[in-house]
Structure 1
Amino acid sequence: MNYFIGITPPDDYKEKIVAFRNRWSSNRLNDVAEPHITVKAQGGLTVDLHWLENVRQTCAVIPNFQLTFSDPGTFGSVVTFLNVETNNIIDLHKKLVKAISPSQELLDRYFEMDKYHPHLTLGQTYWGLSETELDEMKSLTVNELAPFPTFDVIFVRVYKEVESDRYVPFEDIPLRTNKIKNS
Structure 2
Amino acid sequence: MLMPFFIAVLPPPQVMNQIQSFRQKWDYTQTSPPHITVKASSGLTATEDWVPKIEQICRGFPAFELKLGAPATFGTSVLFNTVLCKEIITLHLLFVDAIKPSLHEQKQHYEVTDFIPHLTIVQKNKQMTDDQFFNIKQDAEHTLDEFEPFIVPSVHIFSMNKSHTYTPVLELPLRPLKKRNFLM
Q: TM-score range by the shorter chain?
A: over 0.9
Q: Which runs of structure 1 show a deviation greater than 4 angstroms over 4 or more consecutive aligned residues?
A: none
In angstroms, what is the RMSD of aligned CA positions? 1.4
Runs of 5+ consecutive residues of structure 1 not aligned to the other structure: none
Letter of the structure 2 residue corresponding to residue 49 of structure 1? E
Q: Trace 1:33-182 onto structure 2 (pairs within 5 A).
A: 33-126=32-125, 128-163=127-162, 165-182=164-181
- Superimposed CA distance per residue, residues 76-97 of structure 1 (whole angstroms, 9 cap, x where no aligned partner): 1111100010111111111111
Letter of the structure 2 residue corresponding to residue 173 of structure 1? L
- Superimposed CA distance per residue, residues 23-80 of structure 1 (whole angstroms, 9 cap, x where no aligned partner): 222x22x2x1100001100100000000000000011111110000111110011111
TM-score for both structures, normalised by structure 2: 0.92
1:123/1:129 contact within 8 Å kept:
no
From the superposition, tell whether residues 173 and 128 of structure 1 become closer, same or farther in structure 2 (CA, over 3 Å): farther
**Structure 1 equivalent of residue 13 of structure 2:** 11
- Superimposed CA distance per residue, residues 120-165 of structure 1 (whole angstroms, 9 cap, x where no aligned partner): 1111124743322222122111322242121000100100111253
| Structure with the bigger percentage of helix | 1
Runs of 5+ consecutive residues of structure 2 not aligned to the other structure: none
What is the aligned residue count?
A: 180
From the superposition, tell whether residues 128 and 64 of structure 1 become closer, same or farther in structure 2 (CA, over 3 Å): farther
Q: Percent identity, aligned pairs only?
A: 34
Q: Could you say what secondary structure the match of 1:70 adopts? A: strand
2:73/2:80 contact within 8 Å kept:
yes
TM-score for both structures, normalised by structure 1: 0.93
Distance in 2 (CA, whole Å) between partners of 1:44 and 1:134 is: 32
Distance in 1 (CA, whole Å) between partners of 2:109 and 2:13 is: 27
